[in-house]
Each structure stands twice: as structure tokens, then as C-alpha cells.
Amino acid sequence: MIKVALFGPEEAVNLVKKYDSVIEEIELQPFIYQTTEDMETLITQAVHCDVYLFSGILPYFYTKKILGSFSKPAIYIADNELDVSLTILSVTHHKVAELDRISFDLPDRRNLDIIVNQLQMSPKPVHVLDYSWVKSDSERKFEVEPILKFHYELWQSGKVDLSITSIHAVYDRLVQLNVPCMRMIDAEKTIVDALKKAKSLGELQLAKYSQIAMGHIMLSAKDQDIKNFDQSVVKEVNVLIKKINCTVQPTTDGSIVFYGTKGGIDYLVDNLYLLDDVYKAANEQSVYVHMGVGLGMTIVEAKNHAQIAISFSSKKGCDHSIHIVNEDKVVSNPQKSADHPSILKTEDERIFELAKQLKISVTNVMKMKQFIESRPVNSFTSSDISEYFGITKRSSERMLKKYMECGFLHIIGEEQPFQNGRPRAIYRLDLKYK
């Protein structure tokens, strides 16, 4: 069963639960909130679920803003043209009000405009408030009061006979104020499609967590490899491997090999303190722990990736280290937040062509792509590149020069962070692969 955490007001949750029997092998677990501020507490109670499903766009983006990103796949039941069509049909069929005497609020007014224009409806709606910015402006705070005021003032001034809202909190307040109102209708197909998508995401999540993981652990001293491991270190390593639900495979070359699943490795990454006892025992013996983990859909793939990972970790020398190579051949070091993943492959021909044109490696082009996409705005200095790539400022300037010679890099300003010294150029990078 795919466990789906359903977040929403009580009425919305009850509506969605009517359709959970339509989709086989899912289990809806409701988390009801009074206000979106409750989401911060509720999301922590749903960590055992496979997918997060939100009743609407507001709780989804509010929670995403709090968390930064979701630890599980997350979707929301989005208003669409079908919902708008059913709502308008209901209003016109029951002759509740003319469209130009109705105030609407909705996440995207285009859904309303498309229906009205295609059906050549007349009169057309004139009192429409949308909040499409919520999808792109994470800094802006969403407030219910302005939307409530929009509806109430139009009704109070006699300009509208009905208010239609997509927000449960607005509807409740309008009812309290005795304003004729209704909620945007949630079509059965919209809800069922959302449940189907939640199930698919849950299955994909479980498949990812079921990927095979293979790990190598090597112990080394400062000047020589340790052939006979101290039993206290090995004991702590075995305890660690058991905690992440992996199995040790005996070896004859002195290394430690273990097998498990991606779920166990993700648990280790999220709880790196599990390594503390291993490192403590290793420090007492002047031993350094190097761990390399490979993930893959097959044992052969996981084994090959593990060999790549341990080669990265063993280069660290006199330091404890752990590297992970995933199914996409991306190398990461979970212990170093400042380190950025190394991409070892790409199937995008545009990246290959760009690397040839710039005369730099595919890995560096992919890293630059990551760098640009990870920033809120496309502006940076050579120092930003130096810090991100872990290279010297001179090397970063040489790299940027290649982008500039090919016409991809543009100077858009300068800054002078110190009173003395030369100003730094501020760049914008326009990669043509897009």
C-alpha cells in the first residue's frame, strides 16, 4: 500500500476521502488543519508516509516555503478548467447571478478566461482576482484579508450578487459576514487524477528506495594501509551497518563490503551522527575510515559505482571520508555541505557540444549549469565561482574567460567589497544549451 498523507481543511479532506477507494493500493492518512500555520507541526507527523498530497495550492506553497523542499514527493490538487467549467455551469444553470455580477478569486485566471472565450459567454466576468504569483514568488507572504476585502467591498457596494472563492478560509469568513458565496467546485476527475498521480509518485519513491546499495569501507593509517583491523573499529562498523539495515559480506583483502538498499543509505545521510562511534573508535587507534557507496538498479551497477565512490574517498588520505555515487553517476560527499556533486556522465548532446565549443570538460559544464540553476538570480563574481568549484580565483577567471570568448558571459556591473583594492566584475551567464 502507498501511504498518502492528505493535508487540508476538514471539508476538503472528507471530499477527497470519498474517492480513495477508486484507486487501489493506496491508503489515505488525513492531516486536518485549521489554518496553514498548522502545517509546520502536521508535516512532521507525516514522515512515515510515502507521498504528501495537499488539498490546494496554498497549503502546498506555504509548507514548501517553510521547509525549503520536501523530503517526500509532494503534489497539490490544482484548480483547472474543468473545475471552473463546472462552477460556471452550476451558477448559470441555477440562474444565481450573471457573470459580470460575480466576484472570483482563483490561482490562475487563465482557466476562467479560456472557458469564457471558448464558449463566447456574455456578459464576461469583470471582477476577478488571481494569485498566480504564489507559484514563483516564495518571498511574498500570502494573506487572506486582501482577498476577503476584495469580495466584501464589491458586495457591500452593490456591484456583485455572488462571490466565488477557491480558498476555504475566505469562504468561511464570507459566510460569517452573510455574503452570498460559494466555493469553486472540485471536479471528481480532478481529485481522482491527483490520487493517481500520488500513487505513481509513491511507487516511484519506493522503487528508488529499493535500489541496491553496495558499500566499501577501507581503514588506513597515515603512512600505510591497515591489513589487520583493530576489532573495536570493526565492531563499531558492524553496528553501523546493522543500524542502516545492510548486510556485511566477508572479504579476503582486508576491506569491509556491505549490501543494502538506497533507503538505508538515505537514512545514514539524514543521520550522520551514526558515524560518530565509528570515528571515535578509529581515532583511538589512529585509523582513518574511508567509505564509498554505490547505488544502482542492479548489483553490477551498484558495484561499479561503489568502486568509483571508494576511489574518491581513498584520495582524502588522513581524514575520515564518505562518498556516494548514485544511479546517474553523480558523486556526492554528504559530510561536506560546501562540497558540490561531481557529475560523471550526461546523455545531453547539447552539453557535449557546449563542452567542445568551450574546450572544457563536460563535468565542468554540468557544474556550471548546477551553479546557475541553484542561484535565485543570474549574477555572480569570479569569487563565487572559485568558492563553488573549490578552485583558485585565478583558475575561476581562466574558466570564465572561455565562456566570455564564446559569447556566453556578459559583464552587467561591478562591486567593491573592500575599501582598498580593485572592483570585481559582476557577470551574467547565458548558456545556449537552453
CATH 1.10.10.10 in the chain: give the residue spans. Answer: 349-429
C-alpha cell at 294: 554505490
Return the CATH fold of 2-77+189-207: Rossmann fold (3.40.50)
Domain 349-429: which CATH class? mainly alpha
Residues of each domain in the chain carrying CATH 3.30.70.270: 210-341
**Percent of the chain having pLDDT more than 70?**
91
pLDDT at 346: 61
End-to-end Cα, the chain, rounded Å: 39
Q: State the pLDDT at residue 434.
A: 44
Per residue in 399-414, pLDDT (tens digit) is 999 999 988 999 988 8
| Confidence (pLDDT) at 337 | 54
Q: Cell 517526500 sits at which residue?
A: 72
pLDDT score at 418: 55
Question: How many whole angstroms separate alpha carbon 377 and alpha carbon 424?
Answer: 17
Question: Of 85 and 233, which is predicted with more confidence?
Answer: 85
Closest CA to 39 of 3, 78, 74: 74
- Which residues does residue 425 pair with via DSSP β-bridges, in sequence order? 414
> What average pLDDT does range 5-30 have in this prediction?
92
- Rounded to two decimals, the pTM is 0.60
Per-residue pLDDT of 46-81, as tens digits, reads 988 899 999 999 899 889 888 878 878 999 998 889
| CB-CB neighbours of 221 under 10 Å | 12
Which whole number is the average pLDDT over 183-197? 94
Q: Which CATH class is domain 81-185?
A: alpha beta
Q: Which tops the pLDDT comparison, 126 or 341?
A: 126
pLDDT at 378 over 60: yes
pLDDT beyond 80 at 179 = yes
What is the 3 state secondary structure string of the chain?
Answer: CEEEEEEECHHHHHHHHCCHHHCCCEEEEEEECCCHHHHHHHHHHHCCCCEEEECCHHHHHHHHHHHCCCCCCEEECCCCHHHHHHHHHHHHHCCCCCHHHEEEEECCCHHHHHHHHHCCCCCCCCEEEECHHHHCCCCCCCCHHHHHHHHHHHHHCCCCCEEEECCHHHHHHHHHCCCCEEECCCCHHHHHHHHHHHHHHHHHHHHHHCCEEEEEEEEECCCCECCCCCHHHHHHHHHHHHHCCCEEECCCCCCEEEEEEHHHHHHHHHCHHHHHHHHHHHHHCCCEEEEEEEEECCHHHHHHHHHHHHHHHHCCCCCCEEEEECCCCEEECCCCCCCCCEECCCCCHHHHHHHHHHCCCHHHHHHHHHHHHCCCCCCECHHHHHHHHCCCHHHHHHHHHHHHHCCCEEEEEEECCCCCCCCEEEEEECCCCC
Which residues are within 8 A (CB) of 393 and not within 5 positions of it... i.e. 6 or more apart? Answer: 382, 383, 386
Q: Could you identify the residue written with the cell 565542468?
A: 364
Q: C-alpha 89: how far from its chain's center?
A: 37
* pLDDT confidence of residue 417: 60
Helix 393-405, helix 382-389: angle, nearest 10: 120
Q: Where in the chain is the domain with CATH 3.40.50.2300?
A: 2-77+189-207
CB atoms near residue 396 (< 10 Å): 20
Length of the chain: 434
Say yes or no to pLDDT of 147 above 90: yes
Q: What is the mean pLDDT of residues 302-306?
A: 91
What digits encode the pLDDT tens for the residues 83-130?
999 999 999 999 999 999 999 999 999 999 999 999 999 999 999 999
Res 251: pLDDT: 74
Q: Which CATH superfamily, name and number, covers 210-341? A: Reverse transcriptase/Diguanylate cyclase domain (3.30.70.270)
Q: What does the pLDDT look like over 257-292, one tens digit per residue?
A: 999 988 889 889 888 888 999 999 888 888 889 999
Is the model's pLDDT at 227 over the cut of 70?
Answer: no
Sequence-ordered list of residues with C-beta below 8 angstroms from that of 163, at least 6 positions apart, any chain: 102, 103, 151, 154, 155, 174, 179, 180, 181, 182
pLDDT band at 338 (very low <50, low <70, confident <90, very high): very low
Q: Decide if pLDDT at 186 tops 60.
A: yes
Predicted pLDDT at 328 = 79
Q: Could you tell me which residue, 10 or 297, shows the higher pLDDT? A: 10
Most confident of 130-134, 195-199, 223-227: 195-199
Task: Kindly state the greatest CA–CA separation across the chain.
Answer: 88
Is the model's pLDDT at 230 over the cut of 70? Answer: no
Residue 355: band (very low, low, confident or very high) from pLDDT cuts 50, 70, 90 = confident
Q: Residues 6 or more apart from 290 whose CB is under 8 A from it?
A: 217, 218, 219, 220, 310, 313, 314, 316, 320, 321, 322
pLDDT of the residue at 52: 96
Mean pLDDT of the chain: 86
